[in-house]
Amino acid sequence: MPQKTGSVPKRKTSKRDIKHGKNVVSRKNKTIPISVFGNVMKQFDAAAKKLNTDSSVLEFIKIPRRSTIANLPVKMDDGSFKMFKAYRVQHSIARGPAKGGIRFHPNVNLDEVQALASWMTWKCAVVNIPFGGAKGGVVCDPFKLSNGELERLTRRYVADMMNLFGPDDDVPAPDVGTGPQIMAWFMDTYSMRENHSVPAVVTGKPITLGGSLGRSEATGRGVMISTREAAKYIKLDLSRSTAAVQGFGNVGSISAKLLHELGVKFLYVADVHGAIYNPKGIDIKKLIKYVEKEKTIIGFPDSKTVKSDSVLTAPVDIVIPAALENQITEKNAPNIKCKIIAEGANGPTTPEADKILDKKKILVIPDILCNAGGVTVSYFEWVQNRIGYFWTEEEVNRRLEEKMVMAFSDVLNMALKNKTSLRIGAFMLAITRVVEVVHLRGIYS
């Protein structure tokens, strides 16, 4: 059964929480983790109130349809066996196969996976691609596992949840802590059971195994397109604007690189190790090369180390939170000074913070729109696998541009029509599209 909203155990804040970005809130001198699934429910409810929709249908599409938990025995390199807790949540299959990544991270839990699966449903609906939402995760630190241990863990995950997956059922993809190699092992494990190659069972694969050109940059490119369209709307000249990015993995670095190419000057950059600042601007392309070698942004030439929490509240035009959930809360939202927040991460802003930002007239490009470039090109990859014909990178980027620009326009129009934020507008648009399909299909009982 899905975990009840808000049913989170009370406990003290740990250093591990801070290191991995798990925010907490204080309640009468006690600290409890912020429920990301609870946040999604609040976002959904706020949008649903503005729609004239049957409440029973809303309840049907609100809650995840299936949550699977497994304990995976994996043989370690020293010959011992270790148990890993694993999850796969399918939120919706109303609009098509469930779609969503697999996360390998020490803080993976059911609350987080249910939230991420829910966001995937609404994200796919916002960009109008024929998928539902899903998400998976394994509680582990992939950086502490050998290549062989990672492979055995991946294959065991697929084997134990094999009946959930399929090109017409549930199509995973990479997420935090996973990548093309893990998707290759996933595809191979599934294909061995089917006795033939099934590339469409997973996306984010290496190019030589049926991956799509343009996929590695897709999420960051989507953030760039969304930010560019938002800047047009508020009449912000990107060539004269400044920015800060929190998180310098694939999404953060690509977003920053593409916006830097449009003339945006990045003054602040943060990663898991800390943050750097240069009032004259940071050369993002050189920083990417530096990180490839040093595995951190710290020590980058011509930069000054600053406090990590200063990045989100920096005096810049654009802030890109591209790390983990719950980074912008009611605690730091009053101090945010930017004009645009472009959510590269999933769920970086809490509902309480949203209210503060809305009053401050800060334009928040919601995650289910802003970072939807990844799932959009994943859809393109799935299509290419099904038809057996592959597009050029230019064609992929052109199609992504069309989808993202149209999605931004649709969300903006919904928000303006209903005099609400882009986030609520995006949820209203997504809910409307899912409800329409549910009414057409009916509910089997």
Alpha helices in 235-283 (DSSP H): 250-261
Phi-psi region of 181 (alpha: psi -120 to 50; beta: other; left: phi over 0): alpha
Rounded to whole angstroms, the Cα distance separating 308 from 305 reads: 9
Token code pair at residue 185: 């092992």
Q: How far apart are CA 181 and CA 188, in angstroms?
A: 11
User: For tokens 């004269």, what's the residue?
Assistant: 240
d(CA 326, CA 333): 11
Q: Which of 22, 135, 205, 403 is catalytic?
A: 135
Identity (one letter) of the amino acid at 72?
Answer: L
d(CA 227, CA 251): 14
Q: In which order are the strands placed within the sheet that holds 304-306?
A: 304-306, 274-277, 265-271, 242-246, 318-321, 340-342, 363-365
First vs last C-alpha separation in the chain? 19
Which of 263, 257, 266 is CA-nearest to residue 219? 257
Whole-number Å distance between alpha carbons of 319 and 245: 6
For the residues of 5-67, what is the DSSP string, one character each?
Answer: TT--------HHHHHTT--EEEETTEEEE--HHHHHHHHHHHHHTTS---HHHHHHHHS-SEE
Q: Give CA–CA dist 410/153, Å, rounded.
A: 41
Q: 102-131 burial by CB neighbour count: b if 16+ within 10 A, else e? A: bbbbbbbbbbbbbbbbbbbbbbbbbbebeb
Could you tell me which residues come within 8 angstroms of residue 156 by beta carbon, excluding any fewer than 6 positions away? 72, 73, 74, 84
> Is 42 one of the catalytic residues?
no
As a whole number of angstroms, the distance between CA 392 and CA 407 comes to 23
Residues annotated as part of the active site = 135
